Structure 1
Amino acid sequence: MTIRAVVAGVGHYLPERLVPNSELESLVETTDEWIRSRSGIERRHFAAEGQTTSDLGTRAAQAALADAGLVADDIDAIILATSTADLTFPSAATMIQANIGMTRGFAFDVQAVCAGFVFAMANANALILSGQAERVLVIGAETFSKLMDWSDRSTCVLFGDGAGAVVLEKAVGDGTTADRGILATDLHSDGRQKDILYVDGGVSTGTTGHLRMQGKEVFRHAVEKLAETAHAALDKIGLTGGDVDWIVPHQANIRIIEGTAKRMQVPMDRVVVTVQDHGNTSAASIPLALSVGKQRGQIKRGDLLVTEAIGGGLAWGSVVIRW
């Protein structure tokens, strides 16, 4: 008998404002063709004035609970992955806890930028395996549009806002890779690479700041490290890329997604791709892709999934899940 953290429900939310590439042509020197050719992005969603990360996360949480057939007080813990929390404190997770009417348990944020959802899933898995929780609501939510420098065409065209969520619950498996649930995790960080992707604001500056990125360096690290962490997680359970039904990657850039799939020897028709519709939604991108992939009929019960992501820190990692 082996305890597993099984996906019981999934959901997402996108702000109403849809922003096609053509709209950005009036803000910076760019074109729809330039953005598509370098990133694969065609459109993204932006939060409305006054709409916060916790607002987006609340809607995604409610959708995931409905999909699981649960109510808020069935949940023991909320883990929110975000780099754009509403306030310095308290955590946006506690705001979502209040918004959904959850009156028990605990809630906290995890900050690992674009890798945040992978880190949150690993933490939720640990809570369930250790017996500290039986059901955990894991959310990725971001309003990265609020961090953009609208004069920097190399970054402002890449990001969007959104939220996705999954409900993980305790289940019993046989201890084999046929079990449903999280089968393996793999996490890494390297603080020496801070300067290639960061926000130049915070408590030390007294400003919110803007996102700064060395795109070529991020690309180089991303393709190499994403394939490595995915293989490492699969190696832990004796599986390979050939066993994977779906890669559900962080949706940063189509070229990174294609490069990682090639290194894993997984064809692109087994990769869930949403970057064209959402842009890079940071910690929200994987749960968004999971929810959309299920809606499309791509992800089905029993499928073997690998999720992998890399973000500022640098922080990167992967989770292997039997759906």
Structure 2
Amino acid sequence: MTVVGIVGLGIYLPERVMTAEELAVASGIPAEVIRTKFGLAQKHIADISGKGETVSMMAAEAGRRALMDAGVGPEEVDAVIYFGSMHKDYYVWLAAPRIQVLVGAHRAYAFEICGTSAGLPFAMKTARSMMLTDPSLRHVLLVAASTESMLLDYTNHRARFMFNFGDGAAACLLRRDHPFNIVLESAFRTDGRFADFVRVPAGGSVLPPSHETIEQRLHYFDVTDPAQMKAMLDPITLDHFVGVVREAIARSGCHGLDFLIPLHTKRSLFLALLSALGLTESQAIYLSDYGHLSAADPLLGLYLARQEGRLRNGDVVVLVSAGTGYSWGATVIRWGGPYD
């Protein structure tokens, strides 16, 4: 039976960090609240003007490291898929072709998938499906990066739940007929009632850039009605997280869950998710020193879990995320191997 497995992982994190104390000064939110409720000790911040840490540069570096981890040359890559932040180097611009050339994957074609912060399960599902049906796709490189810290106005507390956004990149290399770290099934849910709550108000066709939009600070994240969004989201979000995890596990033919790698969320939601799934904190990764890197979170968590020796041969590992819009997604990985 043809399978698709993860053969390499790579990450890139800027050297500059913003601590909880620095975030407290910028936002007026006590550092203790940021640490305990936001679940954030620090986050990495890109240096674009000094080090050129753009989305394309960081994603390409994470991709190169994933290739090195796999022992695969860039000329062996058949496709490059970018699934990270929409806030890229330029407006209305594809990062994937730029990443392809920076990595040196000159034989590959490149394209993008957008699921906001839920992008990884969508990318995994797409790449796996393509590879299972197309024998010419032996190696597919998935890359994501985020510089969404640039879109935060720390004086706008309507958007405070996004103050955990940090910067960085993560990548993985998938290989066809690789019976190790097998990518299994995914599951998704979308609730379009939330489509208009979270956005950068200006810059699109509805409200083009102008002196007025800049003066009114409309080029940062905003939430149109935080109270209404919370009232609608709180009763359903845990159920949707649990639902996609359990559905992905069932679709994969697995009977349990050994390790969970979620996106970075507030700590109370993280603990509630573990409790609902019958897991302990030792069976999960929490990105308190990294914050939320948009769609890159689960790959960063997988990289850290491997580096820390927390994954055992045969573990059923679930990568789960959610993104404004609102979508929830999960993908199952059978860690280790080999497996038939």
With normalisation by structure 1, the TM-score equals 0.91
- 2:244 is matched with 229
- 2:305 is matched with 293
- 2:14 is matched with 15
- Give 1:146's match in structure 2, choosing from 150, 155, 162: 150
| Alpha carbons 2:5, 2:178 under 8 Å: kept | no
Structure 2 CA distance, aligned partners of 1:66 and 1:301?
22
- 1:121 is matched with 124
Q: 1:46 to 1:219 in 2, by over 3 A?
A: farther
The one-character-per-residue Cα deviations of 1:221-254 (angstroms, maximum 9, x if unpaired) are 43221111001111213434xx222101111222
Q: SS where residue 305 of structure 1 aligns? A: strand
| Alpha carbons 2:252, 2:332 under 8 Å: kept | no
| Alpha carbons 1:219, 1:256 under 8 Å: kept | no
Q: SS where residue 306 of structure 1 aligns? A: strand
- 2:175 is matched with 169
- 1:211 is matched with 221
Structure 1 CA distance, aligned partners of 2:203 and 2:319?
30
Q: How does 1:245-260 map to 2 (within 5 A)?
A: 245-260=258-273
Structure 2 CA distance, aligned partners of 1:245 and 1:128?
26
- Give 1:264's match in structure 2, choosing from 277, 285, 301: 277
The structure number with the bigger radius of gyration is: 2
Q: Which moved more, 1:60-69 or 1:191-200?
A: 191-200
| Alpha carbons 2:45, 2:166 under 8 Å: kept | yes
Instruction: Report the AA paired with residue 185 of structure 1.
Output: S
Query: Shift of the alpha carbon at 1:209?
Result: 2.5
- 1:176 is matched with none
Instruction: Report the AA paired with residue 162 of structure 1.
Output: G
Structure 2 CA distance, aligned partners of 1:89 and 1:283?
19
User: Greater strand share, 1 or 2?
Assistant: 1
Structure 1 CA distance, aligned partners of 2:142 and 2:129?
13
- 2:83 is matched with 81
Q: SS where residue 247 of structure 1 aligns? A: strand
Q: 1:252 to 1:7 in 2, by over 3 A?
A: same
- Give 2:54's match in structure 1, choosing from 43, 52, 55: 52
| Alpha carbons 2:117, 2:294 under 8 Å: kept | yes
| Alpha carbons 1:73, 1:104 under 8 Å: kept | yes
Q: SS where residue 3 of structure 1 aligns? A: coil
Structure 2 CA distance, aligned partners of 1:60 and 1:122?
20
Q: SS where residue 186 of structure 1 aligns? A: strand
Structure 2: gaps of 5 or more residues:
210-217, 336-340
Query: Cα RMSD over matched residues?
Result: 1.9
In the alignment, does 2:187 pair up with 1:186?
A: yes
Query: Shift of the alpha carbon at 1:59?
Result: 1.4
Structure 2 CA distance, aligned partners of 1:221 and 1:69?
43
Instruction: Report the AA paired with residue 171 of structure 2.
Output: A
| Alpha carbons 2:100, 2:108 under 8 Å: kept | no
| Alpha carbons 2:7, 2:181 under 8 Å: kept | no
Q: SS where residue 196 of structure 2 aligns? A: helix
Query: Shift of the alpha carbon at 1:300?
Result: 4.2
- 2:200 is matched with 199
Structure 2 CA distance, aligned partners of 1:127 and 1:161?
29
Instruction: Report the AA paired with residue 21 of structure 1.
Output: A
Query: Shift of the alpha carbon at 1:219?
Result: 4.7
Q: 1:38 to 1:112 in 2, by over 3 A?
A: same
Q: SS where residue 244 of structure 1 aligns? A: coil
- Give 1:317's match in structure 2, choosing from 325, 329, 339: 329
Query: Shift of the alpha carbon at 1:180?
Result: 4.3
Structure 2 CA distance, aligned partners of 1:93 and 1:258?
35
- 1:93 is matched with 96
- 2:4 is matched with 5
Structure 1: gaps of 5 or more residues:
174-178
- 1:302 is matched with 314
| Alpha carbons 1:68, 1:167 under 8 Å: kept | yes
Q: SS where residue 2 of structure 2 aligns? A: strand
Q: 1:311 to 1:187 in 2, by over 3 A?
A: same
